[in-house]
Amino acid sequence: MGVISLGRREKIAEKVKSMMYSLDNIRNIGIVAHIDHGKTTLSDNLLAGAGMISEELAGQQLFLDSDELEQTRGITIDAANVSMVHNFDGQDYLINMIDTPGHVDFSGDVTRAMRAIDGVIVVVCAVEGVMPQTETVVRQAIKEKVKPLLFINKVDRLINELKVTPEEMQQRFAKIISDFVKLVRMIVPEEFKKDWIVRVEDGAVAFGSAYYKWAISYPYMQKEGITFKTIYKLCREGKQEELARRAPLHKIVLDMVIRHLPNPRQAQRYRVPHLWPGDIGSEVGRSMVNVDPEGPLAMIITDITVDKHAGEVATGRVLSGTIRSGQEVWITSLKRKARIQQTGIYMGPDRISVEKIPAGNIAAVTGLRDAISGETICDGEEPIVPFESIKHISEPVVTVAVEAKNMQDLPKLIEVLKQVAKEDPTISVEINEETGEHLLSGMGELHLEIVTYRIQRDKGVQIRTSDPIVVYRETVEKPGPIVEGKSPNKHNKFYMMVEPMGKEVFEALREGKISEGRIRGKSMVEEFRKIGLDKEEAKRVRDVYRNNLLIDMTRGIVHLEEVIELVIDAFHDCMKKGPLTNEPCLGLKVKLMDAQLHEDSIHRGPAQVIPAVRHAIYSSMMQAGDFLLEPKQNLFIQVPQDFMGAVTREIQSRRGQILDMKQEGSLVTIISKVPVAEMFGFAASIRSATEGRALWSTEHAGFEKLPLELQDRVIREIRTRKGLKPDPPKLEDFT
């Protein structure tokens, strides 16, 4: 079906293997875009140009959308890896490429892919321009210090469907480039401003049609004597095949990649200090910066998938040393060793076995059971400092209850749900073995639909799911009082208070400027002061958990260090389940103000400390005005002007707030913010209201206060659903 012969593929694989040590000639790249802007069609063309699939079927085969669901729905769901070779100016280059999803529900795959790559091609549709998800992926790239290039796709549609004039076409290009440059300039660090702003004259921007297999860049136009008028004329005359012969897409785009994106040696100099908080002057630090294949092993896992024959396959970037089959390595977070069974490289859906893979490359590895995305793999006597955790931009906001259709499948279902959460860290799984309720939370309806379908198809467990439920958050509106929490044996007392976190501090945590986890020593004081904590609090932060802080304001408490881990455990329990509805807490500063502890350690164990701290936190929260936050989505709808009224009515009927309207020709773009709880069934409603003429997309817009008039009803609904008493708890319940 258009796939090249086995012999040809093996030849390419041999070439890939031989080039893994040529660091100057390696590019690790990703393809990112808003949904339906043409990423996978572009990937097909690049693979065809590299001789990996037939040129006739490029753009239709969607080789990297190998899953049956991706093919039937016409969207990319999973990030797909492939290694290929491209000849530029008489020299071969190894290109390790990841094609990523565009739908917002699968944005976690994009975030994780960014760790493995050094540059991205941002695909923008010439008709739609820079869209919300375009902005999101550019932000994700720059946050991970990944350099962006621009490919303006679907130029043929601009000419043949919108029937623009040559002048209007160039104006459209100028606007897209200007919007893209403005976006990059706004978020790029100062050190990259000069080099990372794309310029047409440098060839860091390409224009073309992935579907018709042609592309053009300014240097190529100069060299070949092709002008925008030539392009316009050939498109109007239906001679795009001639364009594809004169300006083949794969050549223009991959030449642009090689000219403008960094090789591992260049990229790791600035990426390693950003991704790794350890000592750059240490042996492993120097080895990563220098991409030394002979140095200690350091690899970061960016993706976990399950192969029915090979088991768990971990994909990741080797930053230092060489990973080999049979090698014993550390799984850092588990502080235990594992033996690598097999190492390999990706040739699209297939994995080709390779004996060893050196630094600067993307590897597929089996044998790392229980490793998760973001995991640090190393060798040596002791595990190294782990890489910074991968921070996803969205959070799970929609939940379904899952149960096995057959009771005998229940033990298997629990294992499968744990496996699903490992494969996709943006899925949250809550397993309550006492009540038998299993909750699966994801980014949206589509995300959960795909996951539940795959549980049945791939894991062989038939399940029933509830209607989708929205995940809320609990927070407080004012500082609560200092509350005493007594241990059950009355020998220990903890004095806690809770207050809302400042907006500046919360945004910094949400954006991942501060990593989650225990704070040891004074190393983070300056960072906390920079994000807006006062001097005294900044010195005393003990733990960062789910965008909440635990701050120890005590002085000189004897034995406190012996129980502080238990205090942190109690803090975690409270942040996972707030007092009102057992929903997670968000944006709280929890302060330990004082403590009185029994001198004998036998009287201050977990059964004494944890309930005392938990009651004090909950009591302070209740008195601080605990309330619910609901998740919101930004909703972008593009529609012909005639349907504008129908769209605004639809938004307003869902408690939506219109933020902006932009008109371009006969099309109107309506930008609004809508509660996730009101978005169920939206796809069918908007299609009906606009006769199928609306294009729409969403992005996570954080959490906002649930309107006062809905608080009581929603609290009761959540409590009833969770099997709690419908009436909200009273203060005396926690004293």
> Do 445 and 503 belong to one domain?
no
Please indicate, yes or no, whether residues 277 and 213 belong to a single structural domain of this protein.
no
Verify that 561 and 518 share a domain, yes or no. Answer: yes
Given a contact cutoff of 8 angstroms between Cβ atoms, the answer to whether 408 and 368 are in contact is no
pLDDT at 251 over 90: yes
Cα 534 off chain centre by: 31
pLDDT at 434: 58
**Residue 373 in domain:** yes
For residue 376, is pLDDT > 90? Answer: yes
Q: Same structural domain for residues 79 and 137?
A: yes
Write phi, then psi, for 714 (nearest 5 degrees).
-65, -40
Confidence grade of residue 2 (pLDDT, cut at 50, 70, 90): very low
Residue 733 lies in a domain: no
DSSP H helices in 491-594 = 503-510, 525-530, 535-540, 560-576
Q: What is the DSSP letter of 585?
A: B
Residues 530 and 454 in one domain: no
Mean pLDDT of 403-411: 87
Residues 56 and 139 in one domain: yes
Asked if the structure places residue 566 within a domain, the reply is yes
Mean pLDDT of the region 76-84: 72
| 39 against 57, higher pLDDT | 39
Do 461 and 484 fall into the same domain?
A: no
pLDDT at 217 over 50: yes
As for how many domains the chain has, the answer is 5
CATH of the domain at 221: 3.40.50.300
Q: What is the CATH number of the domain that holds 576?
A: 3.30.230.10
- Cα→Cα distances 469→463, 504, 714, Å: 17, 30, 11
pLDDT beyond 50 at 659: yes
- Among 624, 644, 677, identify where a domain stops: 624
Q: Looking at residue 65, what is its pLDDT?
A: 40
Percent of the chain with pLDDT strictly greater than 70: 93
Is the confidence at residue 180, as pLDDT, over 50?
Answer: yes
The CATH number of residue 366's host domain is: 2.40.30.10
Picking from 1-10, 34-43, 568-577, which range would have the lowest pLDDT averaged per residue?
A: 1-10
DSSP state of 191: G
Q: How far is CA 598 from its chain centroid?
A: 46
What's the CATH code of the domain at 643?
3.30.70.240
Query: Is residue 178 assigned to a domain?
Result: yes
Split at pLDDT 50, 70, 90, the class of 70 is very low
pLDDT tens sequence across 319-364: 999 999 999 999 998 899 999 999 999 876 778 899 999 999 999 9
**Where is the domain boundary, 262, 296, 315?**
262
Q: Higher confidence at residue 116 or residue 681?
A: 116
pLDDT for 72 equals: 52
What is residue 506's DSSP assignment? Answer: H
Q: Residue 396: which pLDDT band, with cuts at 50, 70 and 90?
A: confident
Task: Report whether 476 contacts 499 (CB < 8 A).
Answer: yes
Q: Quick one: average pLDDT of 160-179? A: 93
Q: Is the pLDDT of residue 71 over 60?
A: no
243 and 332 belong to one structural domain: no
Residues 195 and 242 in one domain: yes
Q: What pLDDT digit, counting tens, does each position of 520-563 carry? A: 777 789 989 999 999 999 999 999 999 999 999 999 999 999 99
Domain region containing 144: 6-262
Whether 645 has a pLDDT exceeding 90, the answer reads: yes
Whether the pLDDT of residue 126 is over 80: the answer is yes
**Which string of b and e fits 440-474 if b means at least 16 CB within 10 Å?**
bbbbbbbbbbbbbebbeeebebebebeebbbbbbb
pLDDT tier at 307 (50, 70, 90 boundaries)? confident
299 with 358, same domain? yes
- Over residues 485-507, the mean pLDDT reads 95
Domain assignment present for residue 182? The answer is yes
* Residue 734 falls inside a structural domain: no
pLDDT, residue 690, reads: 92
Residues 369 and 487 in one domain: no
Q: Are residues 112 and 229 in the same domain?
A: yes
pLDDT digits (tens, 9 = 90+) for 258-287: 999 999 999 999 999 999 989 999 999 999
Query: What does the pLDDT read at residue 66?
Result: 43
pLDDT of 438 higher than 80: yes
Domain boundary among 420, 449, 471: 471
**Collapsed DSSP state (helix, strand, coil) of residue 723:** coil
Band (pLDDT 50/70/90 cuts) for residue 73 is: very low
Inside any domain, residue 720: no
In this prediction, residue 104 has a pLDDT band, given cuts at 50, 70 and 90, of low
Mean pLDDT over the full length of the chain: 89
Per-residue model confidence (pLDDT) at position 574: 97
Indicate whether 72 belongs to any domain: yes
pTM of the model: 0.80
- What is the distance between the alpha carbons of residues 96 and 700, in angstroms, rounded to a whole number? 30
What mean pLDDT do residues 119-147 have? 92
**pLDDT at residue number 106:** 57
pLDDT at 68: 55
- pLDDT value for 9: 67
pLDDT for res 103: 54
